[in-house]
Amino acid sequence: MAAEALLRRRRPVMLGQVEGSQDVVNMAAIVPREDGVISVSEDRTIRVWLKRDNGQYWPSIYHAMPSPCSCMSFNPETRRLSIGLDNGTISEFILSEDYNKMTPVKSYQAHQNRVIMILFVLEMEWVLSTGQDKHFTWHCSESGQRLGCYRTSAGACGLQFDVETRHVFVGDHSGQVTILKLESENCSLVTTFKGHTGGVTALCWDPVQRVLFSGSSDHSIIMWDIGGRKGTAIELQGHNDKVQSLSYAQHTRQLISCGADGGIVVWNMDVERQETPEWLDSDSCQKCDQPFFWNFKQMWDSKKIGLRQHHCRKCGKAVCGKCSSKRSSIPLMGFEFEVRVCDSCHISITDEERAPTATFHDSKHNIVHVHFDATRGWLLTSGTDKVIKLWDMTPVVS
pLDDT digits (tens, 9 = 90+) for 285-344: 999 988 886 666 665 566 665 577 889 999 999 999 899 999 999 999 999 999 999 999
- The pLDDT value given to residue 9: 47
Residues 6+ apart with CB under 8 A from 73: 81, 82, 118, 119, 120, 127
- The pLDDT value given to residue 292: 85
The answer to whether the CB of 88 falls within 8 A of the CB of 113 is yes
Residue type, 92: E
- The pLDDT value given to residue 82: 97
The answer to whether the CB of 171 falls within 8 A of the CB of 156 is yes
- The pLDDT value given to residue 388: 96
- The pLDDT value given to residue 298: 64
Q: In whole angstroms, how far apart are CA 250 and each of 27, 42, 209, 211, 255?
A: 22, 31, 9, 11, 9
Alpha carbon distance 267, 396 (integer Å):
10
Say if residue 164 is exposed, middle or buried (CB neighbours under 10 Å; 0-12, 13-18, 19+): exposed
CA-based nearest residue to 4, from 397, 255, 356, 394: 356
Say if residue 185 is exposed, middle or buried (CB neighbours under 10 Å; 0-12, 13-18, 19+): exposed
Read off the pTM: 0.87
Q: In whole angstroms, how far apart are CA 51 and each of 13, 34, 57, 351?
A: 18, 9, 4, 47
Residues forming a β-bridge with 103: 94
**φ/ψ (deg, to 5) at 342:** -70, 160
Alpha carbon distance 235, 218 (integer Å):
12
- The pLDDT value given to residue 302: 65
pLDDT tens-digit profile, the chain (398 residues)? 444 444 444 789 999 999 989 999 999 999 988 899 999 999 999 999 999 888 889 999 999 999 999 999 999 999 999 999 999 999 999 999 999 999 999 999 999 999 999 999 999 999 999 999 999 999 999 988 999 999 998 888 899 999 999 999 999 999 999 999 998 778 999 999 988 999 999 999 999 999 999 999 999 999 999 876 566 788 999 999 999 999 999 888 999 999 998 999 999 998 888 888 888 988 889 999 888 866 666 655 666 655 778 899 999 999 998 999 999 999 999 999 999 999 999 999 988 889 999 999 999 998 999 999 999 999 999 989 999 999 999 888 86
Give pLDDT tens digits for 161-216: 999 999 999 999 999 999 999 987 789 999 999 889 999 999 999 999 999 999 99
- The pLDDT value given to residue 305: 58
